[in-house]
Amino acid sequence: MAEGYGRSSTQSYIHFVSISRGSLFELETQLIVAKRLKFIKNETLFSELMNQITEESKMLNSFINKLESSKQ
């Protein structure tokens, strides 16, 4: 995200924030796989991590929408 911000272009910034969101989804997938393979046995920990991913996703989506609207 910092790299996108440093490029002084809103469109570049949006692109890099979108990449960050994609990385978050990769993390979510890996977390689910780890749970299914029983690498994560603590259900409370798993739920808390999934909730944090959901909240971060909402924040990134909101930020992208705000950046998109500022372009116009």
Residue percentage of the chain with pLDDT more than 70: 92
Q: What does pTM read for this prediction?
A: 0.82
Q: What is the pLDDT of residue 6?
A: 72
Return d(Cα 23, Cα 71) in angstroms, integer: 24
Return d(Cα 9, Cα 31) in angstroms, integer: 33
The pLDDT tens digits for 22-48 are 999 999 999 999 999 999 999 999 999
